[in-house]
Amino acid sequence: MTLHGYLLLGLVLFSMGLFAVLWRRNLIAVLIGVELMMNAASLNIMAFNHYRVSDPSTGQIFVLIIIGLAAAEVAIFLSIILNLYRVQREIDVEGITELRG
């Protein structure tokens, strides 16, 4: 697979994630969309790293940082979703108007 193939795959993944974030009403679907966008960015970083950079560890370090951020984001986002569901019994984006403690 060439660099253009990886970039096209990354574009498709990012577009699917952007669609999920902008047009879905469910918070779980929004979380999946954000994860897809992070994976597309990681794929593009690794593709450029493989084809353009002489030192392979540079891109790998960036991708490991993105994976760590994605794991932390999922943990925080899921805890917020669970608390919202306990309080309001829904996880629809339109139905949630305010965050109360």
What's the pLDDT tens digit per position in 23-69? Answer: 988 888 888 999 999 999 999 999 999 888 888 888 889 899 999 99
Asked whether the CA dihedral 8, 12, 18, 22 is positive or negative, the reply is positive
Kindly report the CATH class assigned to 3-88: mainly alpha
Task: Tell me which residue of 40, 30, 41, 17 sits closest to 77, measured CA to CA.
Answer: 30
Question: How much is the average pLDDT of 74-91?
Answer: 84
CB hemisphere CA count around 101 (13 angstroms): 0
- For residue 83, the model assigns a pLDDT of 83
- For residue 98, the model assigns a pLDDT of 65
Q: Where are the domains of the chain?
A: 3-88
Q: Tell me the average pLDDT of the chain.
A: 87
